[in-house]
C-alpha cells in the first residue's frame, strides 16, 4: 500500500488565512481541495510538501451562481454539483459535457473545479511508481536531468490533463486569484504556460478562488461543443480533447469563434485560425476542413500518453471537424464520444 509522507495538515476557515499559511511556508506548502490529484501524486512521491493547506473548510468557496448573468463557480464547487446544476446544463451545455467526461462518479463527487484547472501535467514516464522511475532514472519533471519523451530536449513535454480548462478557455472564462498581497483577475487562458513543469502562470502563493464565465458565452449567445478522445468511455484521462464556441448574427454569419485543444501540449492550445477563417462568413464544410487542417499543425502530440502520436495527430483533424460539424448542425461523420452526465 502506498502511504502519504508525514505532513502538517492545515484547515483554515477563510481565504485570507489560507493565503497567510501558504506565504509563511515559503514554498514548502501545497493547496488541496478534493485531493483526487494531489494525494495520489504525493503517495507516489511525484509531488512533495511539508505542509498541505486544505480549502474545503472555507465557507462559501463552493458556491455556484448560475441563475442569470455571469456564471460564477467557487473553486471548491465539486464537479458533480456543477453537472447537477440545471442552469449550468441549460446555459453552458458543452461545459457540463466536458466536466461530465472527467474520470468517474466517485472522483467527480470529490474533485473540484479549481483542482481540475490546476491538475498536474501528465506523462507516460512521469506517472509511474517511484521504484519504476528510479529504475530508469528520474526525468526532468522530477529530480532528473533528461526528458525521456524527447531525450535531446531542454524542456519537459508532459501534457495538460484538465478537461474543463479547454472548454472554459473557449468560453472566455476568467479566474480570480488571491494571495496575501491581494487579489487579481485574469483570463483563464493566461493562467496556463506551455511547459510541462511550470505549467501555471499563477504565483505559488496565489489561490484560485473563483471561475467566472461571462453571460455572453451562454447558449443564448453562442453554440458550443466538446469532444474527448480516450481509450475507455470513462475514467481515463484525455489523449485529445477539442472545445469550441462560435458566435453568429441573425443571418448565421460568424462574429466570433474560439477553439482550444487539450492533452496535446502542456497548456490548452488555441487554434487561432478559427477566427481567421470563420469571422465574416457562415460555417461551411469548406471552412471546417480548412480549420481542421490548421488544427492538425497546432496539435503536436508526442509519445507521452496512450495511443501512437501519429494516430493522435490524425485524430486531431477528425475531432476538430466533428466538433465544428456539430456546432453547424451538419450530419455527423463519426460516432460521438459518450460524455454521460451524472445527475444522481
Query: 273-327 pLDDT, tens per residue?
Result: 999 999 999 999 999 999 999 998 888 788 899 999 899 999 999 999 999 999 9
pLDDT category of residue 344 using cuts at 50, 70 and 90: very low
Residue 67: its pLDDT value, please?
A: 82
Task: Decide if 270 is inside a domain.
Answer: yes
Question: Which parts of the chain are beta strand (E)?
Answer: 8-10, 29-32, 51-54, 64-65, 71-74, 174-179, 182-187, 207-213, 222-229, 240-248, 254-262, 269-270
Strand order in the sheet with 174-179: 64-65, 71-74, 207-213, 174-179, 182-187
Q: How far apart are CA 76 and CA 79, in angstroms?
A: 9
Is residue 241 included in any domain, yes or no? Answer: yes
Q: How far is CA 231 from the centre of its chain?
A: 18
| In a domain? residue 299 | yes
pLDDT band at residue 342 using 50, 70 and 90 as cut-offs? very low
Residue 242 lies in a domain: yes
Where does residue 250 rank: exposed (0-12), middle (13-18), buried (19+ CB within 10 A)? Answer: exposed
The verdict on residue 238 lying in a domain is yes
Give domain status of residue 206, yes or no. no
pTM beyond 0.75: the answer is yes
Q: How many CB atoms lie within 10 A of CB 340?
A: 12
Total domain count, the chain: 1
User: How confident is the prediction for the chain on average, in pLDDT?
Assistant: 93
| Residue 235 domain boundaries | 224-328
| CATH code where residue 257 lies | 3.30.390.50
The answer to the question of residue 275 being in a domain is yes
Query: CA-based angle 241:174:233, to the nearest 5?
Result: 20
> Does residue 179 belong to any structural domain of this protein?
no
Helix (H, G, I), strand (E, B) or coil at 245: strand
Amino acid at each position: 500500500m502506498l502511504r502519504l509522507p508525514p505532513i502538517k495538515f492545515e484547515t483554515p476557515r477563510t481565504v485570507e488565512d489560507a493565503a497567510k499559511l501558504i506565504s509563511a511556508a515559503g514554498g514548502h506548502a501545497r493547496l488541496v481541495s478534493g485531493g483526487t490529484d494531489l494525494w495520489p501524486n504525493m503517495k507516489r512521491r511525484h509531488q512533495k510538501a511539508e505542509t498541505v493547506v486544505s480549502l474545503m473548510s472555507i465557507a462559501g468557496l463552493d458556491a455556484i451562481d448560475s441563475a442569470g448573468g455571469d456564471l460564477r463557480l467557487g473553486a471548491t464547487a465539486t464537479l458533480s454539483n456543477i453537472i447537477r446544476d440545471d442552469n449550468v446544463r441549460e446555459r453552458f451545455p458543452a461545459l457540463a459535457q466536458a466536466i461530465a467526461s472527467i474520470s468517474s462518479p466517485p472522483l467527480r463527487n470529490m474533485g473540484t473545479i479549481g483542482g481540475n484547472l490546476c491538475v498536474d501535467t501528465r506523462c507516460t514516464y512521469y506517472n509511474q511508481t517511484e521504484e519504476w522511475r528510479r529504475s530508469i532514472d528520474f526525468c526532468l519533471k522530477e529530480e532528473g536531468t533528461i526528458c525521456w519523451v524527447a531525450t535531446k530536449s531542454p524542456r519537459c513535454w508532459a501534457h495538460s490533463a484538465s478537461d474543463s480548462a479547454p472548454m472554459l478557455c473557449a468560453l472566455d472564462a476568467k479566474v480570480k486569484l488571491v494571495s496575501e498581497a491581494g487579489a487579481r483577475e485574469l483570463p483563464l487562458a493566461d493562467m496556463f504556460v506551455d511547459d510541462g513543469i511550470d505549467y501555471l502562470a499563477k504565483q505559488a502563493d496565489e489561490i484560485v478562488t473563483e471561475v467566472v464565465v461571462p453571460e455572453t458565452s451562454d447558449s443564448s449567445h453562442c453554440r458550443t461543443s466538446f469532444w474527448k478522445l480516450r481509450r475507455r468511455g470513462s475514467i481515463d484521462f484525455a489523449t485529445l480533447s477539442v472545445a469550441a464556441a462560435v458566435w453568429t448574427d441573425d443571418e448565421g454569419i460568424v462574429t466570433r469563434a474560439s477553439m482550444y485543444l487539450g492533452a496535446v501540449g502542456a497548456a490548452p492550445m488555441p487554434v487561432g485560425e478559427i477566427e481567421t477563417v470563420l469571422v465574416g462568413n457562415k460555417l461551411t464544410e469548406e471552412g471546417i476542413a480548412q480549420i481542421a487542417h490548421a488544427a492538425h499543425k497546432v496539435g503536436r502530440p508526442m509519445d507521452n500518453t496512450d495511443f501512437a502520436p501519429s494516430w493522435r495527430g490524425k485524430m486531431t483533424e477528425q475531432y476538430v471537424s466533428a466538433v465544428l460539424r456539430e456546432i453547424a448542425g451538419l450530419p455527423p461523420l463519426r460516432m460521438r464520444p459518450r460524455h454521460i452526465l451524472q445527475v444522481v
